[in-house]
Every structure is written in C-alpha cells, then in structure tokens.
Amino acid sequence: MAELLTPAILLSILSASVGAATIILLAALGELLTERAGIWNMGVEGTMLCGCLAAYVAMCETGSPVAAAGAAMLAGVAAGLVIGLLTVSLKVDHFVTGLGFNLLASGLTLFLFRSYTAGGKPAGYGTIDRWPIPFLSEIPGIGPILFNQHLLTYAAFLLVPLVSIFLSRTRPGLECRAAGENPEFLEAKGISVAKRQYGALLVGSALTALGGGFMMLAFATEFRPDISGGRGWLAIVAVIAGNWRPLRTMIAVIVFAVLDSLAIHAQGVGVAIPYQFFLMLPYAASILLLAVLRTRSGQPARLGIPFLRR
C-alpha cells in the first residue's frame, strides 16, 4: 500500500478522480432530474452504453469531439423517448422498463458495433486534450487536480449549482418537482404532468448519454461491449446517497470516483493486494451508503408510481 501514498501517485489519483467523476456526475445529474419528476429510470446503464457507441461512431466518422458529444446526446434522447413511451404513456412498471432497456441496450449496441466494424479490427482515435486554465492550473497542489481537466469536466461541475437553482428557484423546476411529489396538483392547475415528465426524462437521458460519450472521448480509443462497466448503477446510487440533492449527489460521485481511480492506480503500481479488491471498492461503498442512509430519505413522494388521470 505504501506505493499508493507517494506524493506523485496521490496527485495522480486525485487528478484522475476529478476526470472520472465527470462520467458519473453527468449521469447522476440526469438521473436526479428524472427522479425528481417522478420517473425512476433504471435504464441509466443502457442509456450510457448507447451514448458510448454513438460517440464512438461519430468520432470515427468525423474526427470531431463536438459531433461525437452531440451524437451521444441524441442517442440519449432516443433512449429517453423509449423509456418515456413505456413509463409515462403506457404506465409500465418503472423497474421492469429500466432493467429491460439495459438488456436491450447491451445486446443492441454489441450488434450495431459488430455491424459497423463488419467483423474487422475496430477503428481507433486519440483521446481529446485537456484544457488547463491559465494561472490556476499552475497553483501547487490543487492546480493540476482541479484546473487541468477536460472542458466537459468544468461544465459538469458547473451544472451542479445550475441544477440546484433550476429545481428550487425556477417555475419549470418547481413544476418538475411537483410532478414527482404531487402530480394531482399540476393536473388541477391544468398543467400536463406527462409533458413535465417527458421533458425531465429527455434532458436527463441526454446528460446520461453525454457521460458515456465523455468516457469514450477522454478515456477510451475504441468501443468494446459493456464498456460503461456499471457506472450507470453508481450514478443511481449516488442520487440516493445524495438524498436527491445536487450538491450531496456530487459528493457521493466524488467518493466513487476516488475509489475507482484508486483501483486503477493500484494495478499500475503493482500493490501486493489483489487488484480485484480495489475494483470492488466503489460497489462495496455504494452498498454501505445505501444501508447507512436508508432512514434519511428525501425521495420524491410519487417516485416510480405511474400517474393515472382521473
């Protein structure tokens, strides 16, 4: 373990954690918006996979990270439409829908990927560059950790206060929360509950898929099956651990990201402890958090309950 405690390795772990947190944070913020509107979207993992594949194909075809990010978000919107059709319009159980969508996305992305490569060697590309902020990135210690990251990382962390303000200080945000707390009130006011839920689901799914797209652009050079590696599930746990609050959700995401980064570095420096132990840490932490925080639930009152008009 001493190999992980050297200043250079610790700096590398923390810097990588901020980047890795971007993937889960984008997905978690998307899931937070969706759940505050009353939709318990368990298809985050599948949506992220769709974003990964869309970003990979767009990057291979155009070489443009912007086009790849846009393609990922469009894939997310498409995934959100499918989930919305089942949960909002057809009133199918949210858990069944999400789990079924994950299975569909896992198989469909593999089929499309193999069709795209025609059984040959997958095309690859270089990862995108970081955007160091002048002067701030040169601050000893925190500079390289916080201010030498990718552009989308800065945007993801900036989204945390923006989502908080949207939910608490804007009319659309309050209507979104009302859809998850008291949809009958919205209905009585003549406001469409379905439109608010569809809106939250589409925006949330786009953010989730963008998280997958960012993973492809910043950390991978080619697509592979199930590349999201369970990060979609961690995003759902982060929302619960964060008690459905943006800032607390971000803190939970950072904890998962640090443990994830620790596992990667443990393999690199050859720690005597089997690396599988470190790989399980984020998931063990998620179970522990769920057990500890089970009685502190700020869960929306109508989360996961289909709304039936009277």
Q: Is 276 or 233 the better-scoring residue by pLDDT?
A: 233
Block residue for tokens 């913020």 = 29
Task: Give tens-digit pLDDT for 259-302.
Answer: 888 877 777 666 777 767 777 777 787 777 777 766 667 889 98
In the predicted structure, residue 155 carries a pLDDT above the cut 70: yes
Q: How confident is the model over 162-191, as a mean pLDDT?
A: 93
Q: Is the model's pLDDT at 106 over the cut of 80?
A: yes
Quick one: average pLDDT of 242-257?
Answer: 91
Predicted pLDDT of residue 279 = 72
Mean pLDDT of 153-162: 96
94-117 vs 65-84: helix crossing angle, rounded to 10: 140
Q: How many Cβ atoms from other residues are within 10 Å of residue 227's Cβ? A: 20
DSSP-based three-state secondary structure for 193: helix
pLDDT digits (tens, 9 = 90+) for 1-28: 666 667 778 888 888 899 889 999 999 9
Enter the DSSP assignment of 149: E
* pLDDT tens profile 39-53: 999 999 999 999 999
Q: What is the C-alpha separation between 239 and 299, in angstroms, rounded?
A: 10
- Taking the C-alpha atoms of residue 309 and residue 246, their distance in angstroms, rounded to an integer, is 30
Rg, the chain, Cα only:
20
Give the separation between CA 27 and CA 238, rounded to whole angstroms. 10
Separation between Cα atoms, residue 83 and residue 71, nearest integer Å: 18
What's at 214, amino acid-wise?
F
- Residue 60: the pLDDT is 93
- For the chain, the average pLDDT equals 89
